[in-house]
Amino acid sequence: MLALIIFPIVGVRNIFYLEVIFQISVFAALALGLNIVVGFAGLLDLGYVAFYAVGAYLWAFFGSQQFYVLHYAPGTQPSDLPFLLAGDTFYLFLILGVIVAALVGILLGLPVLRVRGDYLAIVTLGFGEVIRVMANNLDKPLNFTNGPQGITPIQRPTMPDFVVDWFNTVFGPIVGHEVSAAHMYNLMFYVFALIVIIVIIFVTRRLDDSKMGRAWTAVREDETAAIAMGIPLVRTKLSAFAVGASFAGIMGVLLAANRTFISPESFSFMQSIGVLAMVILGGAGSIPGVILGAATITILNLQVLQGFSLYLNELRQSDAIIPIINFAWKDLSTQLDPAKYQRMLFGLILILMMIFRPGGLIPTTRRKRKLDQEESK
């Protein structure tokens, strides 16, 4: 009820809130995918955002004029070129994003999943940076990604006119103003993200209760014992990477269509760290936990930090003075803006969670029982 009715109505009343809700949905799906790798299989992946980039660039290339840029002289304006595919093929690419990202996850896993622990983390970190650097440099000799300038415009799926009219007729009195097609597009992508999350939760729960899920748990707890019990180690790890990567791939396609622009800067190492922080904050292996972790960090980053920075900026432009110490707000350094300390905040969250609540905000039953046993010893 809250996600299907209240959030959309609040979102169209204020487009910023709809953007925050959409980003929460995107990062919740990414956190659920990384939760398969980290929480279920116990594999530390520091390059998870690479699969996100694969899905985004897949639709960005085929859903824009970038294909034709390869065949035209340098300097040709994209506005002079046709789109390669119709916008409605976006729905097909949602499925292709799942398949291609899963295949990339398998290709990554084949050479690297024979290593463990810190070595695996270093290799996956390198893989994530390789994908980002490739996207940054594949503008020559053939321009596949348009380099650091990014790809734009990227097509969105067409939306029938009657959808806007229907929404204004039914919800117009509640919203308080007429909703434009641009607002409806943002609402449509939120609904898409919500549907994807529901499917991901269903698939994750089914996998957790399956033979494969029990194999992931066994590998996470003790690889040597899992091998002794006949569990194929490499195949089990590959399946975790493939499933987790597929979740990121579909959200990458969704992001590219929603933003109509992507660049390598959208897939930095800090994005992977941010998603990992969501998993750890919520509770590795816990489905509701990682969703709560994604919502907490996204709101903290977009609402709290950005809002506080804007408030301080307004104070700097005024003549306000702190009475007790007689300090003028306009003399406050911009280096103290909270938005600039995102990385420090992520690190502080991880440290505090490991000290005071290692199981996360909503730990799994198995994890909670294990921690209780360790504390009682």
pTM for this model (two decimals): 0.88
Q: How far apart are CA 353 and CA 338, in angstroms?
A: 21
pLDDT digits (tens, 9 = 90+) for 117-148: 778 888 888 888 999 999 999 888 778 888 88
Query: Over 50: is that where the pLDDT of 1 sits?
Result: no
Residue 25 burial (CB count, 10 A): 27
**Cα-Cα-Cα-Cα dihedral of 168, 173, 176, 180, to 10°?**
0
The Cα 274–Cα 162 span in angstroms is: 39
Is residue 65 classed as helix, strand or coil in its secondary structure? coil
Any idea where the domains of the chain sit in the sequence?
2-268
CA dihedral 37, 43, 45, 48 (to 10 degrees): -10
pLDDT per residue as tens digits for the range 57-115: 999 999 888 877 766 655 555 556 778 888 889 999 999 999 999 999 998 888 777 77
- For residue 32, pLDDT over 50 is answered with yes
